[in-house]
A and B are shown apart, each in its own frame.
Chain A
Amino acid sequence: MSSSGLRDSHIQLNEDGSLRHFLTIDGLSKSLLTEIMDTAERFIDFGQRKIKKAPLLRGYTIVNLFFEPSTRTRTTFEIAAKRLSADVINLNVQRSSSTKGETLLDTARNLQAMHADMLIIRDSHAGAAHLIATHLGDQVQVVNAGDGRHAHPTQAMLDMFTIRQNKPDFSKLAVAIVGDVLHSRVARSQIQALGVLGVPDIRVIGPNTLIPTDVESLGVSAHTSMDSGLKNVDVVIMLRLQRERMTGQLIASEQEYFKIWGLTQDRFQITNKDAIVMHPGPINRGLEISSSMADSSSSLILPQVTNGIAIRMSVLSMVMSGFGSAGESTDDGVGE
C-alpha cells in the first residue's frame, strides 16, 4: 500500500528538508505538516480582503493538468494560484489508459518546454505525479492533486486544517473514516496525516468489501458496524462511494448501503458531544449521508472547501519557495 512512500518522500524534499514537490503525506514530518497548516492560517483572511491577491508567485506559470474530472480540487487550485498572482493554465485532458506513461510524460515535457514552473497533476493512475517528478523534477515543481487510489495529499491537509480549527489537540482525538476506504486515495492520505499528527484513535468503518485487507497495518482499527465504530468519536469523515472505480458487485444496493452505512442525525448521536462531520465531496445525498446531516450545524463540508484554498495557497507557496535563482536578498531586518 505504501511501498512507494519512501521514494516519494525522498524526491519531494530538498536537502534542507523543505518541500520541493508535494506528492504524498507518507514520510513527511509532523513539523512540516504543521508548517503547511500554519502557513495556510496566514492566508485564511485573504478571501475577505478588498483585493484578494498577493504578488508572491507573480510571473510564475502553473499548469493544472487534470486527466480526471474535478470541480472542487481544480477550481480551488486555480483560485489559490491566482490569489498568489501566478498565471494559471487549465488543461482537462481525456486520456485513454492504453497511452499511459509515455503520453503523460510527453505531455509534461511539452509543458516544461513552454517554461511551466509548476505542474499540478490529477490522474487515474497511481504514481502519475511521482513519475513526472522523477523525470522532470529538477526543472519543474510537481504537486499531486490525486493519483489513482494512491494519494490526495492536499485534500488530506485541508481536512487536517479543518479538524485543527475545531479540535486543536490532535493527541486527544478519535477519528472515524466511513465508507469506501478501498477506492479512496483521500482516506489513505488522511490516515497517514492523522498518524503523523499524533491522533491516537483512527478507525475505518465500512463493509468488508470496501475495507482494504491490510488496513490495520496502517495503524487504524477496522469496524464493520456503525454503532461500534462511531462510539466516542470526535470527527466523522464520510467518503464518497466511488461507483466509477468499482469493478465488481461490492455493495448490495444503494438503498441497502444507506440503511447500513449512511450517516443520519439519529446515528450521529452515538458520537461524542460536539463531534464534527466532514466529507471531501462531491456528496451523494441519501447514499453516504442524509441531506439533513449534510446540512446540519455539525457539518463542515463547506468550510472544508473554503479551507482548501488556503491550504493550496500554502502548498503552492511552500513548494515554490526559494525556487528562483540563487542570489542574496537585501533585508531591513524583518522576519529575523
Chain B
Amino acid sequence: MSNTPNIPDFETLLNALVEALDTAAYSDTVLVGIRRGGAWIVDELHTRLGRSEPPGYIDISFYRDDFAMIGLQPEVGGSELPMSIDGAHVMLVDDVIHTGRTIRAAMNELFDCGRPKKISLASLIEREGHELPIRADICPLQLSLNPNEHVKLLGPEPLAFEVVKRK
C-alpha cells in the first residue's frame, strides 16, 4: 500500500466542488447525480448551494454497455428527474470519473428524457484511464492509480473515499 496515494478527506473535496459551483456561470444549472455516489454528492450540493428546486437522480443500470456481462444491478434506486430538462443546463455529478462509460450511459439516458441545452460534468475525483473522450468540467482532484487499484465512495453515512486493491 506504500504507493497508494493519499486522498484528501471527503469534506475537503466537497468544499472545493461547492466553491467551484457557487459561481454565476453555474447558478442556473439543474443538478443531476448519478446513483449511487453521485446522488449522495448531489444531495450535499443541493443543501450547501441553497438550491430550492429538488435535484435529479440518474440510475444508469438500464443504459450500461456491460449488461450482457454483469447483468442488472439491484438496489441502485431508479432514475428520478422531477424537473423538465428540455432547454436546461444540466450539471451531471458523479463521485469518480474513470473510463467515462458511466457518463456516456448517463448522457444517453438524459437525452431519452429530454433535450438539454447543455450538459456539464462535475466530479470529486478524476482518475487516469479514460476510454472515451469525456472529461470533467469541474473536478478538485486528479488521481493516478495502479490498474489494480480502485477508488470508491462509501456512504451514505458517513461519506468517505476508499482505495481498494483488486486481484
Binding site for B on A (CB under 8 A): 18, 35, 38-39, 41-42, 45, 49-51, 53-56, 84, 317-318, 320-336
Assess the B69–A335 pair: CB atoms within 8 A: no
Mask for B61-97, Cβ within 8 A of A = 1, else 0? 1111011111111111111000000000000001111
Chain B: CB-nearest residue to A335: B73
Assess the B36–A335 pair: CB atoms within 8 A: yes
| 12 pairs from A and B in contact (CB 8 Å cutoff) | A18-B71, A38-B74, A39-B74, A45-B78, A56-B67, A322-B71, A326-B69, A330-B98, A331-B102, A332-B94, A332-B100, A335-B36
Q: Please measure, in the bound complex, the distance between the C-alpha atom of A60 and the C-alpha atom of B153, giving whole angstroms.
A: 34
Assess the B68–A323 pair: CB atoms within 8 A: yes
- For B150, what are the chain A residues with a Cβ–Cβ distance below 8 Å? 333
Q: Separation in Å of the A89 CB from the closest CB of chain B?
A: 20
- For B66, what are the chain A residues with a Cβ–Cβ distance below 8 Å? 327, 329-331
Q: Separation in Å of the B78 CB from the closest CB of chain A?
A: 4
- Is B30 in contact with chain A by the CB < 8 A criterion? no
- For A51, what are the chain B residues with a Cβ–Cβ distance below 8 Å? 111-113
Among candidates B34, B59, B70, B112, residue contacting A53 with C-beta atoms closer than 8 Å: B112
Given A54-B109, A318-B72, A334-B38, 18 extra CB contacts under 8 A? A38-B74, A41-B78, A42-B79, A51-B111, A54-B112, A55-B108, A56-B63, A317-B62, A322-B69, A327-B68, A330-B99, A332-B100, A332-B102, A333-B151, A333-B153, A334-B37, A334-B60, A335-B36
Assess the A325–B62 pair: CB atoms within 8 A: no
8 Å CB contacts to A: which residues of B111-149? Answer: 111-114, 131
Assess the A325–B68 pair: CB atoms within 8 A: yes
- For B51, what are the chain A residues with a Cβ–Cβ distance below 8 Å? none
Assess the B97–A332 pair: CB atoms within 8 A: yes
Assess the B101–A331 pair: CB atoms within 8 A: yes
Q: Separation in Å of the A307 CB from the closest CB of chain B?
A: 15
- For A335, what are the chain B residues with a Cβ–Cβ distance below 8 Å? 35-36, 61, 73, 76
Between A39, A54, A332, the greatest number of chain B beta carbons within 10 A of the residue's beta carbon is seen for: A332
Binding site for A on B (CB under 8 A): 34-38, 59-64, 66-79, 94-103, 108-109, 111-114, 131, 150-153
Known contacts A42-B78, A51-B112, A333 near B96 by CB under 8 Å: yes
Assess the A333–B69 pair: CB atoms within 8 A: no
- For B96, what are the chain A residues with a Cβ–Cβ distance below 8 Å? 332-333
- For A331, what are the chain B residues with a Cβ–Cβ distance below 8 Å? 66, 98-99, 101-102
Q: Separation in Å of the A82 CB from the closest CB of chain B?
A: 14
Q: Separation in Å of the A249 CB from the closest CB of chain B?
A: 49
Assess the A42–B67 pair: CB atoms within 8 A: no
Assess the B67–A333 pair: CB atoms within 8 A: no
Assess the A56–B62 pair: CB atoms within 8 A: yes
Q: Please measure, in the bound complex, the distance between the C-alpha atom of A119 and the C-alpha atom of B114, giving whole angstroms.
A: 33
Known contacts A332-B102, A334-B34, A334-B36, A324 near B69 by CB under 8 Å: yes
Assess the A50–B114 pair: CB atoms within 8 A: yes
- For A41, what are the chain B residues with a Cβ–Cβ distance below 8 Å? 78
Assess the B69–A325 pair: CB atoms within 8 A: yes
Q: Please measure, in the bound complex, the distance between the C-alpha atom of A56 and the C-alpha atom of B69, giving whole angstroms.
A: 12
Assess the A50–B68 pair: CB atoms within 8 A: no
Assess the A329–B70 pair: CB atoms within 8 A: yes
In the A-B complex, the 9 residue pairs with the closest CB atoms: A324-B68, A321-B71, A329-B66, A322-B71, A54-B62, A42-B78, A332-B102, A335-B73, A51-B112
Q: Please measure, in the bound complex, the distance between the C-alpha atom of A45 and the C-alpha atom of B78, giving whole angstroms.
A: 9
- For B109, what are the chain A residues with a Cβ–Cβ distance below 8 Å? 54
Q: Please measure, in the bound complex, the distance between the C-alpha atom of A335 and the C-alpha atom of B63, giving whole angstroms.
A: 13
Q: Separation in Å of the A46 CB from the closest CB of chain B?
A: 9
Q: Please measure, in the bound complex, the distance between the C-alpha atom of A133 and the C-alpha atom of B95, giving whole angstroms.
A: 42
Assess the A332–B101 pair: CB atoms within 8 A: yes
Q: Separation in Å of the A276 CB from the closest CB of chain B?
A: 24
Q: Please measure, in the bound complex, the distance between the C-alpha atom of A327 and the C-alpha atom of B66, giving whole angstroms.
A: 9
Q: Separation in Å of the A42 CB from the closest CB of chain B?
A: 4
Between B35, B74, B78, the greatest number of chain A beta carbons within 10 A of the residue's beta carbon is seen for: B74
Among candidates A53, A321, A326, A336, residue contacting B67 with C-beta atoms closer than 8 Å: A321
Q: Separation in Å of the B146 CB from the closest CB of chain A?
A: 15
Q: Please measure, in the bound complex, the distance between the C-alpha atom of A45 and the C-alpha atom of B95, giving whole angstroms.
A: 26
Assess the A333–B112 pair: CB atoms within 8 A: no
